């Protein structure tokens, strides 16, 4: 299952991504926001990142105005590798090289059509492992050294 969340700046794009996931037969849990009222992006980023961090969800998608704020919030959580992408290549590399488990998009930065392509690329790309796994192991070790815990 994929958990998805947005602030008001990402609401429209989040709704488009939910349609795409439904079209592809992928279960999705929407953690909000659900209207255009101004909200604080950390409130929704935390909900998605916490579920991915604890293993309650395998993957997540976050959307805010630029994607920057959601990226900062999500990457505070252990075991989260949230990647902000602005094109298909970045979305592909986020998975292939970094095994990103949260894709972050900017609702005011990219079009719905491009976002659909990016989400498909991220979902369809396999993690290359090999030398890339060694790099992820270093990140995991750093989380341990810094005693980063969750929830």
Position 149 confidence tier, pLDDT thresholds 50, 70, 90: confident
Annotated catalytic residue within 8, 97, 120, 151: 97
At 30-72, the pLDDT tens digits run 999 999 999 999 999 999 999 999 999 999 999 999 999 999 9
pLDDT higher for 145 or 71?
71
For residue 124, give the nearest of 148, 91, 149 by alpha carbon: 91
Across the range 89-93, mean pLDDT stands at 98
Q: Which CATH superfamily is domain 2-145 in?
A: Sugar-phosphate isomerase, RpiB/LacA/LacB (3.40.1400.10)
CA-to-CA dists, residue 5 to 13, 40, 95, 104, angstroms: 10, 12, 19, 10
Boundaries of every domain in the chain: 2-145
Distance of CA 6 to the CA centre of its chain: 10
So what's the pLDDT on residue 150? Answer: 80
- pLDDT of 151 strictly over 80: no
For residue 85, give the nearest of 77, 97, 27, 48 by alpha carbon: 97
- pLDDT of 95 strictly over 80: yes
Return all residues near 142 (Cβ < 8 A) that are at least 6 apart: none
Position 140 confidence tier, pLDDT thresholds 50, 70, 90: very high
Known active-site residue 132: no
For residue 64, give the nearest of 26, 106, 116, 31 by alpha carbon: 106
Known active-site residue 8: no
């Amino acid at each position: 299952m994929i958990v998805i969340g947005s602030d008001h700046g990402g609401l429209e794009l989040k709704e488009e991504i939910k349609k795409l996931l439904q079209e592809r037969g992928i279960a999705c849990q929407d953690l909000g926001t659900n209207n255009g009222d101004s909200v604080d992006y950390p409130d929704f980023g935390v909900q998605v990142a916490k579920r991915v961090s604890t293993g309650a969800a395998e993957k997540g998608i976050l959307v805010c105005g630029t994607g920057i704020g959601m990226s900062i919030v999500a990457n505070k959580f252990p075991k989260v590798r949230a990647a902000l992408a602005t094109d298909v290549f970045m979305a592909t590399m986020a998975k292939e090289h970094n095994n990103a488990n949260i894709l972050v998009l900017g609702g005011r930065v990219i079009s719905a059509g491009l976002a659909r392509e990016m989400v498909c690329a991220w979902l369809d790309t396999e993690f290359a492992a090999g030398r890339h796994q060694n790099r992820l192991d270093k990140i995991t070790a750093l989380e341990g050294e810094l005693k980063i815990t969750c929830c």
